[in-house]
């Protein structure tokens, strides 16, 4: 699995939001369309059959790209999905910059905003969950915590992974249950059991 590392030299994103992968070609506006096309093709196939039956050759043919182009960007099918999730997380980071009023990640307003944003990608997540790739979703959230929240130094990695696991499982249940509850109702549950104790601890240390 590819790993995320901080970078600021990618023309696709604003400084501070840019991320690159080890052993990956640089992400640019020119190659973004190709990468997204490959990912969307894989998701279309994944909605019909298991990942282990989708050969790289089939993916390349269905994507109408050359083998050289595929391996320029990816080492495996899992890398394709990880890259697509990376694009979504980057979009989320950029969205947060436009909405500073939602506060820190553990605040109720931030959790609501997060649920609303990722609900826009519910079809993608349903496909991943149906394909038993829930672990990829969790790993993405863990990477986000490691890269953007852990460096702030307020929480340990264990606390952040505990929080990430709860967010991942709760979101998965919400999406697969048809989103019968509002984002506010789900956020209230998460805030009550996870974020409220953090906020209480922070206040006691003031």
Distance between CA 99 and CA 117 in Å, rounded? 12
Of the residues 77, 98, 119, the one at which a domain ends: 98
Same domain, residue pair 54 and 143: no
Range of the domain at 131: 102-206
Give pLDDT, residue 202.
55
What is the structure's pLDDT at 200?
56
Answer yes or no: do 91 and 113 share one domain: no
Q: Say yes or no: 84 and 116 in one domain.
A: no
How far apart CA 204 and CA 173 sit, in angstroms, is 33
Same domain, 106 and 177: yes
Q: Do 106 and 199 sit in the same domain of this protein?
A: yes
pTM above the 0.85 mark?
Answer: no
Q: pLDDT value at position 105?
A: 83
Does one domain contain both 114 and 16? Answer: no
For the CA atoms of 31, 32, 33, 36, the dihedral, rounded to the nearest 10 degrees, stands at 130
Contact 147, 19 (CB under 8 A): yes
Helix (H, G, I), strand (E, B) or coil at 85: helix
Same domain, 59 and 2: yes
Instruction: Give tens-digit pLDDT for 146-174.
Output: 988 899 888 889 989 998 999 999 999 99
Domain boundary among 98, 121, 149: 98
Please identify every stretch of the chain with a pLDDT value under 70, giving residue numbers as ranges: 1-30, 195-206
What domain count does the chain have? Answer: 2
**Interatomic CA distance for residues 178 and 158, integer angstroms:** 31
Same domain for 125 and 145? yes
The 10s digit of each residue's pLDDT in 38-63 is 999 999 999 999 999 999 999 999 99
The helix/strand/coil state of 10 is coil
Same domain as 32, residue 3: yes
Q: Which of 98, 128, 157 is the last residue of a domain?
A: 98
Residues 8 and 68 occupy one common structural domain:
yes
- Residue 21's pLDDT is 34
CA gyration radius, the chain:
18
Whether residues 32 and 110 share a domain: the answer is no
111 plus 185 within the same structural domain: yes
């Amino acid at each position: 699995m590819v790993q995320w590392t901080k970078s600021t030299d990618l023309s696709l994103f604003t400084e501070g939001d840019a991320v690159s992968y080890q052993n990956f070609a640089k992400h640019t506006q020119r190659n973004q369309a190709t990468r997204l096309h490959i990912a969307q093709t894989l998701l279309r196939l994944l909605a019909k059959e298991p990942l282990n039956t989708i050969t790289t050759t089939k993916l390349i043919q269905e994507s109408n790209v050359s083998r050289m182009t595929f391996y320029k960007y990816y080492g495996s099918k899992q890398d394709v999905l990880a890259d697509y999730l990376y694009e979504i997380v980057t979009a989320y980071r950029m969205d947060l910059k436009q909405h500073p009023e939602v506060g820190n990640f553990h605040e109720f307003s931030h959790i609501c905003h997060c649920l609303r944003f990722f609900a826009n990608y519910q079809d993608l997540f349903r496909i991943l969950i149906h394909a038993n790739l829930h672990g990829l979703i969790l790993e993405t959230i863990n990477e986000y915590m490691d890269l953007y929240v852990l460096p702030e130094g307020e929480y340990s990695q264990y606390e952040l992974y505990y929080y990430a696991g709860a967010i991942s499982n709760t979101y998965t249940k919400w999406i697969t249950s048809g989103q019968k509850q509002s984002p506010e109702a789900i956020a209230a549950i998460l805030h009550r059991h996870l974020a409220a104790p953090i906020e209480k601890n922070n206040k006691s240390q003031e």
